[in-house]
Amino acid sequence: MVTEKKPDAEEATGTSESAAGEAAEEPRIGVFVCHCGTNIAGFLDVPAVTEYAATLPHVVFATRNLYTCAEDGITDIENAIKEHNLTRVVVASCTPRTHEPLFRNACEAAGLNKYLFEFANIRDQCSWVHMHDWDKATEKAKDLVRMSVMRAALLDPLQELSIDIYPASLVIGAGITGMTSALSIAGQGYTVHLVEKESEVGGMVRNLHLLTPTGADPDTIIKRYRDRLDGNPNINIYTGATIESIDGYFGNFDITMAHDDREESFKVGTIVVATGSEEMKPDGLYGYGELENVMTQGQLEVLLKEDGLKDVKDAVIVQCVGSRGQRVSYCSRICCMVGIKNAISIKEMFPDANVSVLHNDVQVYGVLQEEWYNRARGMGIRFRKYNPERRPEVSDADGKLNVSLYLDLMQREIDIPADVVVLSSPLIQTQSGLDLAKMLRVPVGQDNFFFEAHVKLRPVDFATDGIFVCGTAQSPKDIAESISQAHAAASHAVNPMEKENVNVEAITSRVNQDECIGCGFCAWVCPFGAVAMATNDKGHWVSVINAALCKGCGACAAGCPTLAITTQHFTEDQTMAQIAATFPEPSEPGPDFEPQVLAFTCNWCSYAGADLAGVSRFQYPTNVRIIRLMCSARIDPLYVLEAFRKGADAVLMSGCHIGDCHYISANLMTEARYFALKQYLAELGIDPERLQLAWISAAEGEKFAQVIRDIVEETKKLGPLDRNKLRYKASERFGAESEA
């Protein structure tokens, strides 16, 4: 069940008036500028920024703190809200990605709605990336504070949704990871539905002959798990079962499952994805599928388990088959240890055999794995490095395999005879995993593994609330890591059930049905299925948004032809106010022309990339100002045109890489609008190169810095923008909707 949280007047506003009344009042803004020790104050003039903030409209209080996030800084914010009757708070310090919850809580503690807080990122976007230009860094900090103040003046107090959580969980996949997660959840007293598509539990571990680094017997481990599952009355196990559909929303998911030739349905509050992965079949590599006795590590495991390997005198193991740029880009992490383990097993089974491991390099993690590596070398197993530019070749030599290896150090090629050639190929996502991602409406990354909300801050969460991921479904990892992550996912799944109901983020889209024309574009573009079309009480076909399903990406709002949809906390008025405040004066033409660049970034990737550039101290020109949106799909075409009209000489649209979008596929709308806008600019007689698009991940701080350097240099060549060419209507829209 979903209900709107109805905060009392004190909770919502800190006054005796309602939230609506607060929104209508003249804003009283307090600005708190942080020294951050010397991280900010060492590279720009904090007192000057504070004095400037005090002159801005609606600012009634401005101060500076040594560390605003410290206990005394938080106390200062709480006291100032009460003493100065502040109705908005702006903190100029570091990034909202790490400290926004802290300052929001301070506002709430003082009786101010937490959505009336705004950040100015003057550390990661200013002091750290402009360490060698005190004056320009100071002026940019003033601009960032001004932009935040103008946005803060238009913030609205928002009411969060309170969702009742059904006290049961679904765990999809009954490998070691899924079984661990199910036992952890059930052990805390909650019902678990454990669904496995295979006829037995255990996953890939069933086919292993022993586990590293302990040397334990897999069958014994699986039996121990199965006994615990059977002995727990809170766990319902379904083997040979598949998920047919998942409907509903966080706290109230409706699951339909095919099991024993019939459909079964049940309700859960949370979902854990533990579907695992599979070994890539390296068809066409090293004679696999063509030459007898060329096999994968998985196939060798089965032979070793069943004692099916006979009369081996020479064995060659080839590492990195298909991975690290050959067929997939990533390192599968576990392959080196698996190769070493199986090389030892072959040597133990055939002590006189010649065993060689051909590798690009050897990755063993931790002391125990290092011991296995040293043990293998001590047994006489030879580790030979190959050049990935000249990979080994496998051929048939009169009924016996031959491996040709080029040795860089010796500058010559050698032949290694082999009875068996074992290929270490990477783990890859399963087709059923990809199908499940579509059903759950959760993203997968460029490598097709499930894509977590944030690699550090939310490593087992999806962007979709109430759904969690663990094990090799998320990325290649060993059993110990998978078990650890399974416990983490179980903990996250139990937390909301412990609370019985939770409040969810109020950053969602809303429809003004009086303005809606029922075109249906919003329903078509929504990546989460949160929008439906229905008839209203006047019999008109209108859009209806389920706030419990909406994640606030804003793709619908940016494409609405009548501006009937807005995204709360990122409304058109708020962003337009930021744009208008970005550049108070047009750039000066002439030989010393310095272009003014406005960058629109998505919260999850490109804004995080800008943060990383700051943390890494990557220097780039002071010309750029950044506006954060939840998703690049929220970049309304009007924002771009307004940026040009208000002083920008170039505009950057940026977001997650295609295939890595936090909102599944919303950035495809960004790409479509970008190309349409470039065409529109050309029709206006404006060089389309003034508008740039860059996909930047949270890990690409250097790339963000380089993109800014490049766009500044390119715009210098173009010169100042002739703003007289800009003519557009406030209702114009460009992008994929034109083709919908």
**Residue 97's pLDDT band (cuts 50, 70, 90):** confident
Nearest alpha carbon to residue 50 among 188, 184, 136, 149: 149
Please, are residues 93 and 40 in contact by the beta-carbon 8 Å criterion?
Answer: yes
Is 547 contained in some domain? yes
Q: Which residues contact 298 (CB under 8 A, 6 or more apart)?
A: 204, 207, 279
Question: 523 phi and psi, to 5 degrees?
Answer: -65, -35
Tens of pLDDT, residues 635-691: 999 999 999 999 999 999 999 999 889 899 999 999 999 999 999 999 999 999 999
| Interhelix angle 572-582/637-645, nearest 10 degrees | 30
In 3D space, the residue among 99, 91, 93 whose CA is nearest the CA of residue 29 turns out to be 91
Question: Which of 377, 399, 426 is the endpoint of a domain?
Answer: 426
Give the pLDDT band (50/70/90) at residue 240.
Answer: very high
28 and 45 within one domain: yes
CA distance 620 to 696: 16
564 within some domain: no
> How sure is the predictor about 24, in pLDDT bands with cuts at 50, 70 and 90?
low
Here the tokens at position 149 are 């103040």
Q: What is the pLDDT of residue 126?
A: 97
In a domain, 183, yes or no: yes
Measured CA to CA, the distance from residue 191 to residue 427 in angstroms comes to: 31
Query: Under DSSP, is residue 138 helix (H, G, I), strand (E, B) or coil?
Result: helix
Residue ranges in 466-589 assigned as alpha helix (H): 479-499, 521-525, 555-559, 572-582
Q: What per-residue confidence (pLDDT) applies to 8?
A: 35
- CA-to-CA distance for 531 and 422, rounded, in angstroms? 51
* 446-498 per-position pLDDT tens digit: 899 998 987 887 899 998 889 999 999 999 999 999 999 999 999 999 999 99
Same domain, 168 and 152: no
Check which CATH number belongs to the domain holding 451 and give it: 3.50.50.60
- How many helices (H) and strands (E) the chain has is answered by 20, 33
3-state DSSP call for residue 393? Answer: strand
The burial class, CB within 10 Å (0-12 / 13-18 / 19+), for 355 is buried
Q: Which two structure tokens, joined as six digits, stand for 208?
A: 């292993």
pLDDT digits 0-9 by tens, 351-376: 999 999 999 999 998 888 999 999 99
> What's the rounded Cα separation, in Å, for the pair 552 and 660?
17
Q: Round the average pLDDT of the chain to a whole number and report it.
A: 92
Residue 393 shares a structural domain with residue 458: no
- Same domain? For 141 and 10 the reply is yes
**419 and 395 belong to one structural domain:** yes
pLDDT at 11 > cutoff 50: no
Is residue 474 domain-shared with residue 356, that is, in the same domain? no
Which of 151, 212, 487 shows the shortest CA–CA distance to 371? Answer: 212
Residue 46 pLDDT class (50, 70, 90 cuts): very high
pLDDT-based confidence at 14, cuts 50/70/90? Answer: very low
Residue 417 lies in a domain: yes
Q: Last residue of a domain, which of 145, 160, 175?
A: 160
Neighbours of 528 (CB within 10 A): 20
DSSP category for residue 454: B
Structure token digits, residue 503 = 């409040």
Same domain, 392 and 272: no
What's the pLDDT tens digit per position in 166-225? Answer: 999 999 999 999 999 999 999 999 999 999 999 999 999 999 999 988 889 999 999 999
pLDDT range class, residue 539, cuts 50, 70, 90: confident
Q: How many domains does the chain have?
A: 5
Exposed / middle / buried, residue 484 (Cβ in 10 Å: 0-12, 13-18, 19+): middle
Same domain, 470 and 335: no
Question: What's the CATH code of the domain at 539?
Answer: 3.30.70.20
Cis peptide bond upstream of 586, omega within 30: no
Same domain, 52 and 116: yes
Give the residue-averaged pLDDT of 691-707. Answer: 95
Tokens of 576: 């337009």
Question: CATH number, domain at 78?
Answer: 3.40.50
pLDDT at 212: 84
Q: Are residues 456 and 550 in the same domain?
A: no
- Residue 146: strand, helix, or coil: helix
pLDDT at 726: 81
Position 305 in a domain: yes
Q: State residue 464's pLDDT score.
A: 86
Alpha carbon distance 696, 1 (integer Å): 38
Question: For residue 268, is it left (φ>0), alpha (ψ between -120 and 50) or beta?
Answer: beta
Distance of CA 641 to the CA centre of its chain: 29
Q: Is position 563 within any domain? A: no
Residue 40 lies in a domain: yes
Residue 565 falls inside a structural domain: no
Q: Is 569 left (phi over 0), alpha (psi -120 to 50) or beta?
A: left
- What range does the domain containing 551 cover? 505-557
Closest to 552 in 3D by CA, of 448, 662, 642: 662
What pLDDT score was predicted for residue 732?
A: 55
Query: Are 324 and 364 contained in the same domain?
Result: yes
Could you identify the residue written with the tokens 């003046």?
A: 153
Whether 593 and 731 share a structural domain: yes
Averaged pLDDT, 412-418? 95
